[in-house]
Amino acid sequence: MQRRTLLQGLAAGAVLPLTGPARPQASAPTAAPAAAPAATRAPAFRDVLDTPARPSPLAQRSLLSGLARAGQRLVAVGQRGHVLTSDDGGQQWLGAEVPVSSDLVAVSFPTTDIGWAVGHDGVVLKSVDGGRRWTRQLDGRGLGAVLVAFYERLGDARWLSEAKRLAAQGAENPWLDVHFQDARNGLLVGAFGLLLRTADGGQTWEPLLHAAENPKGLHLYAVRHIAGEVYIAGEQGLAMKWDATGGRFAAMALPYQGTLFGLVGHERAVLAHGLRGNLLRSTDAGRSWQAVATGVQVGLTASTLDARGRIVVVSQSGHVLISTDDGASFKPLKLPQALPAAAVVSAGPATLAIAGPRGVHTLPLS
């Protein structure tokens, strides 16, 4: 695959921040320069993976890329490792204790207490107290060892070579989504086809690169468990569904070959959405798909079910589309101002929480 610059592709849908904390680049040894005067000496570099997130009153209005519900609590994650929690439907937000300053992209809470957050530098975080405190479970510096050890045991020369290539890249590649079905079973998806599974609450991770019909190593943007099935969506129209019989993620045929950013649905329909307002719908668990008109020409970046079970899809430019017929059609919500969105979640009986480049805001639903 021609490996274009990752952030160019992600930025096209406003899914990830355009820039992140810089990582040091290796260079040839040079003679040590003369020591600078103490007053002008630059501060020593600290890797973002070793630097806890700094609480900031501005975090609520900075770039936030992921949202989830932990019971009645709302949890938002975003730039520089910021994690915010709200216990009053998004009116007030408190900063959490986070051990890294890496940009966080996605968050999932399968229970009221246990949650997961992922993002840049291959970071994987876990909380057991509803998002107030987080611990590191994995990062890009250790991911390579997980991949190499697994494919050495598997004895597959092709995938061992790929694992070694990814290991040599260190913490370069981000995770792009996380979804846990329950406290023990979860999936991580990321750049260049990265795919991990745990069945023991993150104590061990099983790579599934070999078990996905993704021969080009395309970026995987979304993973969801919907009505008893597990779906993954990515770039170039890639959509896969877990085949328990074959033990692999099998590709599905879609009438769209552009990037897909998200998945949403219930027992009656599954929807995938992506660039340029494209939205696809299946009512037979992914065996066939039909395009749904949205009237939108920009990226549809996130989706959720509201408290009434309606399907809600939001865009990078601030559109909020609502369906009352299981995704067969959508109507735009009239808004006092546009809220460019990277994430959306139900915040109460008649309220949405929307996160994006302007932070996190609540939006009343009619």
pLDDT digits (tens, 9 = 90+) for 137-164: 999 999 999 999 999 999 999 999 999 9
What whole-number distance in Å separates Cα of residue 175 and Cα of residue 269? Answer: 27
Token pair 């719908």 in the structure block, residue: 281
Instruction: Give domain status of residue 199, yes or no.
Output: no
pLDDT tier at 199, thresholds 50, 70, 90? very high
CB 78 within 8 A of CB 62: yes
325 and 256 assigned to the same domain:
yes
CB 281 within 8 A of CB 268: no
Consecutive H or E run containing 77: strand 73-78
Q: What are 76's strand-pairing partners?
A: 67, 84
Return the CATH number at 337. 2.120.10.80
What whole-number distance in Å separates Cα of residue 219 and Cα of residue 4? Answer: 11
Average pLDDT estimate for 12-27: 42
pLDDT tier at 20, thresholds 50, 70, 90? very low
Instruction: Give domain status of residue 69, yes or no.
Output: yes
Task: Report pLDDT for 46.
Answer: 86
Q: Is pLDDT at 274 greater than 60 in this prediction? A: yes
CB proximity list for 211: less than 8 A, separation 6 or greater: 195, 247, 248, 249
127 and 253 assigned to the same domain:
no
Instruction: Give domain status of residue 265, yes or no.
Output: yes
Q: Is pLDDT at 25 greater than 80 in this prediction? A: no
366 and 269 assigned to the same domain:
yes
Q: Residue 170 — left, alpha, or beta (φ > 0 → left; ψ -120 to 50 → alpha)?
A: left
Task: Report pLDDT for 45.
Answer: 73
What whole-number distance in Å separates Cα of residue 79 and Cα of residue 62? Answer: 7
Structure tokens at 27: 């260079």
164 and 236 assigned to the same domain:
no
Task: Report pLDDT for 11.
Answer: 46
88 and 219 assigned to the same domain:
no
Q: Which of 138, 168, 198 is at the close of a domain?
A: 168
Q: Which of 134, 168, 202 is at the close of a domain?
A: 168
- On average, the pLDDT of the chain sits at 90
What whole-number distance in Å separates Cα of residue 197 and Cα of residue 187? Answer: 5
Instruction: Give domain status of residue 71, yes or no.
Output: yes
What whole-number distance in Å separates Cα of residue 115 and Cα of residue 180? Answer: 8
Helix axes 157-168, 140-154, angle to 10 degrees: 170
Q: Is pLDDT at 6 greater than 60 in this prediction? A: no
365 and 224 assigned to the same domain:
yes
Task: Report pLDDT for 336.
Answer: 87
Domain, as residue range, for 113: 49-168
CB 319 within 8 A of CB 346: no
Q: Is pLDDT at 202 greater than 80 in this prediction? A: yes
Distance from the Cα of residue 209 to its chain's centroid: 18
How many domains does the structure of the chain reveal?
Answer: 2
152 and 271 assigned to the same domain:
no
Three-state DSSP state, 248: strand
Burial of 334 (0-12, 13-18, 19+ CB in 10 A): exposed
What are the residue ranges of helices labelled H in the chain?
6-11, 140-154, 157-168
Closest to 313 in 3D by CA, of 342, 356, 282: 342
CB proximity list for 357: less than 8 A, separation 6 or greater: 14, 63, 340, 342
Amino acid at 228: G
Chain segment 275-326, per-residue pLDDT in tens: 999 999 999 999 999 999 999 999 999 999 999 999 999 999 999 999 999 9
163 and 233 assigned to the same domain:
no
Q: What are 85's strand-pairing partners?
A: 75, 94
Structure tokens at 171: 């913490």
What whole-number distance in Å separates Cα of residue 359 and Cα of residue 366? Answer: 23
Average pLDDT estimate for 168-193: 97
Q: Which of 142, 168, 194 is at the close of a domain?
A: 168
DSSP single-letter state for residue 269: E
Structure tokens at 322: 């609502």
Task: Report pLDDT for 43.
Answer: 62
123 and 267 assigned to the same domain:
no
245 and 155 assigned to the same domain:
no
Distance from the Cα of residue 113 to its chain's centroid: 20
DSSP single-letter state for residue 45: P
Structure tokens at 163: 């694992």
**pTM summary value:** 0.90
Task: Report pLDDT for 31.
Answer: 37
Instruction: Give domain status of residue 100, yes or no.
Output: yes
Average pLDDT estimate for 84-96: 97
Chain segment 210-221, per-residue pLDDT in tens: 999 999 999 999
Q: Is pLDDT at 14 greater than 50 in this prediction? A: no
Instruction: Give domain status of residue 121, yes or no.
Output: yes
Three-state DSSP state, 265: strand
Q: Is pLDDT at 261 greater than 50 in this prediction? A: yes
Instruction: Give domain status of residue 186, yes or no.
Output: no
CB proximity list for 44: less than 8 A, separation 6 or greater: none
Instruction: Give domain status of residue 288, yes or no.
Output: yes
Structure tokens at 91: 């009116």
342 and 221 assigned to the same domain:
yes
Average pLDDT estimate for 93-99: 98
Burial of 170 (0-12, 13-18, 19+ CB in 10 A): middle
231 and 354 assigned to the same domain:
yes
